[in-house]
Amino acid sequence: MKQVILDTNFLLIPAYFGVDIITGIEELLPGAELVIHPGTERELKNIQEKQRGKEKKAAALAMQIIRNNNINKLNMDCEGYVDGDILTLVDREKHIVATQDKELKDKLKKKGIPIIILRQKRYVELV
């Protein structure tokens, strides 16, 4: 079964753009398992505690999406830097990464790792 790692910024898309990322990924990759890095929840909680307004609401919605869709955490030690851990993990195991982070996308592309992105602020696409 393919695993799709949802990066923190990707989980914020529903609040910012109204795009159903879960359905979009399910249509692209039926049967794929959606997972998050253990540090993703920490990052979302940090946004909820330290930000206000739209950012805080976006993080709360992302946490709700994680709970409502039974998205599991990857079974790995959390070294602190989520993007670095994801890059290390994809070197060892074949995953697909859903992200909007330009730097992370560039590094994943160099490694030949499939990426799911938001296209035209309306739909998700596998590149």
Residue range 38-65, pLDDT digits in tens: 889 999 999 999 998 999 999 999 999 9
Answer yes or no: is pLDDT of 1 > 80: no
List, for residues 17-27, the tens digit of each pLDDT value.
999 999 999 99
List, for residues 82-111, the tens digit of each pLDDT value.
888 888 888 888 899 999 999 999 999 999
Buried b (16+ CB within 10 A) or exposed e, 55-75: eebbbebbbebbeeeebeebe
Query: CA nearest 22: which of 4, 37, 46, 40?
Result: 4
pLDDT of amino acid 76: 73
- With vertex at residue 90, the alpha carbon angle to CA 38 and CA 113, rounded to the nearest 5 degrees, is 125
pLDDT confidence of residue 20: 97
The CATH classification number of 3-126 equals: 3.40.50.1010
Phi, psi of 108 (to 5 degrees): -65, -40
pLDDT, position 91 = 81
